[in-house]
Amino acid sequence: MRLDVVSIFPDYLAPLRLSLVGKAVDSGILDLRVHDLRDWTHDRHRTVDDTPYGGGAGMVMRPEPWGEALDTLAPPGGAQPRFVVPTPAGRPFTQDLAAELAAEPWLVFGCGRYEGIDQRVVEYAGSRMRVDEVSLGDYVLAGGEVAVLVIVEAVARLLPGVLGNPESLTEESHSAGLLEYPVYTKPATWREREVPPVLLSGHHGQIARWRRDEALRRTARRRPDLLSRLPADELDARDRRV
Ligand code: ADE
């Protein structure tokens, strides 16, 4: 998968060279290219922002450098990427969207700063490529860079060959619309706290049932919104008793 990231702080994306995502880059699974938006400015101060039309606080990113960045990375008429713009005004980023993005051959991320990017950039991009304005949650970050780190990590670990054990994908939180059950490792007793005995029993059926119950209880307590969104056939009769 090819990944282009456009930012006025390219150094912010340095963590993409580390750990799991870094290994995907080193092995060629991810073709990562980070660009400085200011390379597409032409004035002495390499200006990327200006005051908002209509007034108000803060600055808005001017459209021209973004237009040139898009035209350079994905010339009109050629193959087109999917353009992802993190913004608190976007639609929620979810595991389903991560899976959808992981199926794309090419993603371009546009990192906004200040009060955001002139809306015509998204409109223009949308005339020739798929555009997603995506929010990580109901809080405001200083810019899109940290959101890109999050989104790329969630996407990269779904790419074939990135996880050592792809089975961890099927077991984890959100894969069945539920939060993950609690996990334990050795020692069996630690500071007078025991691992739940069923996990030491060797009864695979009972262990699976216990994990399912814990996942249901946790989800009901912490994320009742997720439970109410589960398709009816996701819950069996045992589940309903938990
Ligand atoms: N940029 C600033 N805040 C953001 C958020 N909550 N999600 C995505 N991008 C953002």
State how far the Cα of 193 lies from the Cα of 199, in Å rounded to an integer: 14
Query: Is 112 marked as a binding-site residue?
Result: yes
Final residue of a structural domain among 97, 132, 156: 156
Domain match, 122 and 217 both = no
Q: Which amino acid is at 208?
A: A
pLDDT at 167: 81
CATH number of the structural domain spanning residue 142: 3.40.1280.10
pLDDT bin (cut points 50, 70, 90) of residue 168 is: confident
pLDDT in tens, 154-164: 999 999 999 98
Cis status of the peptide bond prior to 105, with omega within 30 of 0:
no
59 located within any domain: yes
Q: From the CB of 137, is ligand 1 less than 6 Å away? A: yes
Asked whether residue 210 is assigned to any structural domain, the reply reads yes
Q: Are residues 128 and 22 in the same domain?
A: yes
Mean pLDDT, residues 6-11 taken together: 98
Q: Which of 126, 156, 186 is the last residue of a domain?
A: 156
Q: What pLDDT is stored for residue 77 in this prediction?
A: 96
Per-residue model confidence (pLDDT) at position 232: 81
Quick one: what percent of the chain has pLDDT higher than 90? 87
Instruction: Specify whether 34 is located in the same domain as 125.
Output: yes
The residue to mutate among 132, 135, 138, 145, having the most atoms of ligand 1 within 8 angstroms of its beta carbon, is 135
pLDDT at 51 over 80: yes
Residue 164 lies in a domain: no
The response to whether 12 counts as a known ligand-binding position is no
Residues 182 and 137 in one domain: no
Per the rule left: phi > 0, alpha: psi between -120 and 50, beta: everything else, 58 is: left
* 177-188: average pLDDT: 96
Structural domain boundaries enclosing 186: 172-241
d(CA 214, CA 20): 29
- pLDDT tens-digit readout, 66-121: 999 999 999 999 999 999 999 999 999 999 999 999 999 999 999 998 799 999 99
Q: What is the pLDDT of residue 173?
A: 78
Q: Is the pTM of this model over 0.90?
A: yes
| Atom from ligand 1 closest to the CA of residue 86 | 9
Q: Are residues 59 and 147 in the same domain?
A: yes
Q: Distance, CA 109 to ligand 1 centroid (Å)?
A: 13
Is residue 116 included in any domain, yes or no?
A: yes
- Residue 229 to residues 218, 219, 232, Cα–Cα distance (Å): 15, 11, 9
User: Who wins on pLDDT, 88 or 229?
Assistant: 88
Pair 102, 137 in one domain: yes
